[in-house]
Copies of this chain bind each other. A is one copy, B any other.
C-alpha cells in the first residue's frame, strides 16, 4: 500500500511539473530561426549526383573488399541497419586495432560543414579517403583499391557509367566521389522536421517543452541549423572541463589540425540527428546513457546543473530527432576474378 501511495504521489508531482511548463505559442517560429528541416534533395558541390554514381557508391559502401583484409566495409562502422554507426566506444579495425574516436553516424552527414570530430575533412569525399587508408581501419592503399575494382568487369562497367567522361575512371578519387554521392542520399527526416514543416501534432507537449528548454538553456547556440550541429567548433569543456575518462588528455582534438593552442580540446559540434539511436556519446565514446550525456553538456558547456525533469524533457525532444531510415535494397556485388588482390590479414 505504501509503495502504491508513494508511486501516486510521485506521479502527481511529475504530472504537475509536466503541466507547469509553458509552451510558447510561437515555438515553431522561434525554432525556425535556429533550425532547419531536412531538404528533400541535398546538394553536393563539385560532384553532381547521378543515379549511376549513387548505385556505384552503394555497392562500394557495402563492399568489404574496400579494406585490405576483406573484413570491413564502410557499413561495418557506419551500419545502416542501426544508427549509421557501430555501437562501439571506438571502432574495431584491421588486426583488431581500436580507432581513436567514436564513429559518427553517416546519416545526414552530408549536412555537416566538415567531417571527422576535428573537422579535418572538408566534405564527404575527402572523408571517405581517410578510413580506406588508415592503418587501424581498412589499411588499404590507393594502388590496391584501384587494382581491386579494375579486376572485376562489372565494377569496370559501373565506374564507366558513373564517370562517362573519363577514360580511366577507376581511381581512389572516384571511389570517394561515388561514396559521397551515395551517402548524400542517407537522409532521415523525423518528427521534428514535420513539426518545423508545420505539423503541430508531429511532436507531443513533452517534446515541445524539451525543445523550448533546448533553446532557452542555450543548447541550440551550438546545436543549430539543419543538422543541429555539424557546423561550429567549440572546446569540450567550455565552462567546466569534463572528467578525464570522458575527455582523454592525449586527444587534443582540432589542435592536431590547426596547431593553434586555442584549438586544444576543441571539437566540431556533432549533429544531434538520431542521437537517441547512436550511443555511445562524445568523441571518446565513453558515455552510453543519453540522459548522462545531456547532464554533462549542461555542466561542461552551459555551466548549469540541469534538473531531472529538464533532462527528461530535453531527452524527449532529442528522440524527435530520430528519423525514418531509408529503405535499402542490399546490393549484389561483383565476383572476384583471378586478378583480384587477395585479402590480407
Interfacial chain B residues near A345, Cβ < 8 Å: 88, 92, 96, 98
**Can you list 23 A-B pairs, Cβ within 8 angstroms, ordered by A?**
A62-B81, A65-B87, A69-B92, A70-B86, A70-B87, A70-B88, A71-B92, A81-B330, A81-B333, A82-B333, A82-B335, A83-B335, A88-B343, A92-B345, A96-B345, A98-B345, A288-B338, A289-B338, A327-B330, A328-B329, A328-B330, A329-B329, A329-B330
Report the Cα distance A86→B81, complex, angstroms.
20
Residue A80, interface by CB 8 Å: yes
Interface residues of A in 77-94 (CB under 8 A from B): 79-83, 86-88, 92
**Top 4 closest pairs, chain A to chain B, by CB:** A96-B96, A328-B330, A277-B335, A81-B333
A332 engages B342 (CB within 8 Å): no
Interfacial chain B residues near A76, Cβ < 8 Å: 71
Residue A310, interface by CB 8 Å: no
B332 engages A329 (CB within 8 Å): no
Interface residues of A in 22-63 (CB under 8 A from B): 62-63
Interfacial chain B residues near A82, Cβ < 8 Å: 333, 335
Residues of A at the B interface (CB closer than 8 Å) are 62-65, 69-71, 76, 79-83, 86-88, 92, 95-96, 98, 276-277, 279, 288-289, 325, 327-333, 335-336, 338, 342-343, 345
Interfacial chain B residues near A327, Cβ < 8 Å: 329-330
**Copies of this chain per assembly:** 2
Report the Cα distance A321→B328, complex, angstroms.
27
A332 engages B343 (CB within 8 Å): no
Closest to A94 in B: B96
**Distance between A241 CB and nearest chain B CB, rounded to angstroms:** 26
Cβ 8 A contact of A330, one of B63, B80, B279, B342: B80
A96 engages B98 (CB within 8 Å): no
Report the Cα distance A252→B275, complex, angstroms.
51
Report the Cα distance A87→B344, complex, angstroms.
11
A87 engages B336 (CB within 8 Å): yes
Cβ 8 A contact of A336, one of B279, B325, B333, B336: B279
Closest to A69 in B: B92
**Distance between A160 CB and nearest chain B CB, rounded to angstroms:** 21
Report the Cα distance A333→B328, complex, angstroms.
13
**Distance between A287 CB and nearest chain B CB, rounded to angstroms:** 12
